[in-house]
Amino acid sequence: MTSYREFYRDRPVLITGGLGFIGSNLAHQLVTLGARVLIVDSLIPAYGGNLFNIHGIENRVRVNVADIRQQTTMNYLVQGQDVIFNLAGQVSHIDSMEEPYTDLEINCRSQLTLLEACRHNNPAVKVVFAGTRQIYGRPDSLPVTESHLVRPTDVNGINKAAGENYHLVYNNVFGVRASSLRLTNVYGPRQLLKHSRQGFIAWFIRLVLEDKEVQIFGDGTQLRDFVYVDDAVDAFLRAGASDASNGEAFNVGGLEPIRHRELVELMIRTAGSGRFRCTPWPPDKKAIDIGDFYADSSKIGATLGWKPTTLLADGLKRTFDFYRAHFAHYVPATGEQVASL
């Protein structure tokens, strides 16, 4: 039986959002596995797309700078693809509250654009959607399983939940094979560092590397789990290669939860720089915070054999090493605003 990694050899694969954080790491893995990779990315400046993210494989992938909201463009690009990893999206929770229509266009309507392109132009394709744990909202119990109520606390979570459900409906009704991975906090090389609106851990990595102060909202006792990007990529590869994932949503969580304060202390010890202090919650951020969260990933383990393998300390060391070597490609010359957790 062909293994899930052998499955990709010489196989045409499309990655939407492929110049972003997870998409580009996925592209690197797929190139190593011998896939024929097409990257589609809009390169919207404030988002995560970065041409340096494909440094070293730029001659082994094709890149199409395009917006997945354009139906005619996607009708053409999906043709001939065996697997589509759909990672294009707006991931900032704060931005979704300030610009809800933009979030709706990118995280909701554009998902229909892609799926309609597949339904009419490549109905045999397999699509794996990058979902999020944010759709659950504030947990009723921990760890959170896939049977937990979907009850988002922000516009981003609402639109991501809709995007996920579009994929599952197209699987169930139209036969466009699709699944969704509900990612928890993913971290690692090639993540956006130039501003703080796309997740706190990347911003903390920047502050620690710059030997600056990290501000933790509240008392630092909140629990979260974290997934190293290579482990997240492995989940995508398994889902894309297996029909057992069709019509399913899976949690993709970390090895074990850690409190915010302990996370920052570990980061500072690992990097050998930085400091932190606790500060009161800003009202706008407190209003959409979900509190303690960590995922139960046993379903994807039982179905696809996936489990996280990278210890947080090891993942952080690899991440710091990467950014020390390539910092200028991720941090602009001018300063940025300070952010907190």
**Using one digit for the tens of pLDDT, what is the confidence trace for 67-124?**
999 999 999 999 999 999 999 988 777 777 888 888 888 889 999 999 999 999 999 9
In this prediction, residue 339 carries a pLDDT of 39
Phi, psi of 243 (to 5 degrees): -75, -10
Number of residues in the chain: 341
Domain range 6-187+226-252, CATH architecture: 3-Layer(aba) Sandwich (3.40)
Per the model's pLDDT, the better-predicted residue between 341 and 101 turns out to be 101
Q: How many helices (H) and strands (E) does the chain have?
A: 12, 13
* Residue 58: C-alpha distances to residues 14, 156, 165 (Å): 15, 32, 34
In this prediction, residue 341 carries a pLDDT of 39
pLDDT at residue 10 is higher than 50: yes
Domain segments of the chain: what residues?
Answer: 6-187+226-252
- Residue 143, preceding peptide bond in cis (omega within 30° of 0): yes
In this prediction, residue 337 carries a pLDDT of 44
- Joined together, the tokens standing for residue 219 give 């008392």
- Do 7 and 41 contact (CB within 8 A), yes or no? no
Confidence category of residue 166, pLDDT binned at 50, 70, 90? very high
Per the model's pLDDT, the better-predicted residue between 125 and 98 turns out to be 125
pLDDT at residue 333 is higher than 50: yes
pLDDT at residue 338 is higher than 60: no
